[in-house]
Structure 1
Amino acid sequence: MVAETRTLTAQVPIELAQEVDALSELLERPRQWIIKKALVQFLAREAEKRRLIQEGLDDVSAGRMVSMEQARAWANSIGTDEERPVPKA
């Protein structure tokens, strides 16, 4: 089954368009294939970022936090002979 498509138009700097053209030639793929792949990856990364932010906000709302002092002490111990375990909420 073929998915419906819609054309999007975007102005991009010439240097970026030239990079897409060069990659298109190198990979022997059309420009639209490269742009579609890049857009899919960008949208997935942004969705994951929003999910992680929401997860953090949910932890704060539920009181699942460590103090700055605990976090700093752990971070400062990394790479030392007395490395501390990751603090738990």
Structure 2
Amino acid sequence: METKVLTAHVPLELAERVDETATRLERSRAWVVKQALTEWLLQEDERRRLTLEALADVEAGNVIDHDAVEAWAKSLSSGNPLSPPR
């Protein structure tokens, strides 16, 4: 696999946490950073996918009226909660 060196300035506290984690896991600093970056990118990809899915729902009119949601939320603390709006 080809690689590329990336350089980033990070706060000292974050760098120390990376070093502590590397020591605890008996791995290199580079391994810890690569794992963290990989996981963060996966989360960002999923966040983007979900956002695009939500925007498509809005464009298709698949929304719930705000007033209905608010009434439902207020009813949760009452003795007679409403069914969730659809």
TM-score grouping bracket, smaller chain normalisation: 0.7 to 0.9
Question: Which residue of structure 2 aligns with residue 28 of structure 1?
Answer: 26
What secondary structure sits across from 2:9 in the alignment? Answer: coil
Alpha-carbon RMSD: 1.6
Question: Which residue of structure 2 aligns with residue 39 of structure 1?
Answer: 37
What secondary structure sits across from 2:6 in the alignment? Answer: coil
TM-score where L is the length of structure 1: 0.83
Q: CA deviation at 1:80?
A: 5.2
Tell whether 2:46 aligns with 1:48: yes
Aligned residues: 86
Gaps of 5+ in 2: none
**Alpha carbons of structure 1 residues 17 and 53: separation in structure 2 relative to 1, 3 Å:** same
Q: Which residue identity does 1:35 align to in structure 2? A: V
Q: CA deviation at 1:9?
A: 0.8
Residue pairs, 1:1-89, within 5 angstroms: 3-78=1-76, 81-88=79-86
Q: Could you say which structure has the greater relative contact order, defined with CA pairs below 8 angstroms and 6 or more residues apart?
A: 1
Q: Work out the CA distance in 2 between the residues paired with 1:80 and 1:38.
A: 44
TM-score where L is the length of structure 2: 0.86
